[in-house]
Structure 1
Amino acid sequence: MRTRRPALLGSTVVLAVAGALVAAPSANAVAAEPLCDHIPDSATPTVRPDDQGDAVRQVQCLVNNYSAYADWVEVDGDYGPATARGVHWVQTCNGTTGGADGIVGPSTWSRLYTPKPACAL
């Protein structure tokens, strides 16, 4: 099963911005849905700072796509400081069990795949 960003649905709205007409996405428009398919959705390996590989790429992709975390994380497979900040944000916003320890275990994986509504995009 591939994970997708929730789609926006609605009709197109035209806005006047600085004298120019701009078509804005609306509730009926379907947004592009980047996939996070670096590992199967059913895989939930423990991921920690300084880890590398596809599981880290999956964490980075999910932090970027499935939370309102504003400081995008580069999906490079290296769990460095930027990834740690993103994981801490997800853990803090979602209230994962174990607190904001930066370790992606079962509770954090669950929140990455199904964030609380207030933490989602």
Structure 2
Amino acid sequence: MRLEHLNQVLDIEEVSYPAPWSYYAFAYELLQNNLAHYIVALSEQKVVGYSGMWLILDEAHITNVAVHPDYRQKNIGKSLMLEMIRLAVENGSTGMTLEVRPTNTAARRLYETLGFVEKGRRKKY
């Protein structure tokens, strides 16, 4: 992910999350956070999805994964997650965590197919 992708990323962010990140939050992640790694999925030079993670010691934490509604159910989310897993392992991670709303059944199914298991629930997440 590069700064020039952010306007398109924000469009996806706004239709994907009830509390979307701001331009400045993403810019900070890209420019200042040495733990952060972000990627985009492109279709004909258009951002159709993105994902990010923090690599902290030997653990990776997925910060976000989103796909534009017009491109969902096309394995883009799965491809993004597989690339995140690959990058995490390549950088020495031995575990990965993420948070997902209990009502997001599509994402939960995807994460389960990738081997994630529920370890707990945050109240009011």
TM-score normalised according to structure 2 size: 0.26
State which structure, 1 or 2, has the greater radius of gyration over its C-alpha atoms.
1
TM-score normalised according to structure 1 size: 0.27
> Greater helix percent: which structure?
2
> Greater strand percent: which structure?
2
Q: Which has the higher contact order (CA 8 A, sep 6+)?
A: 1
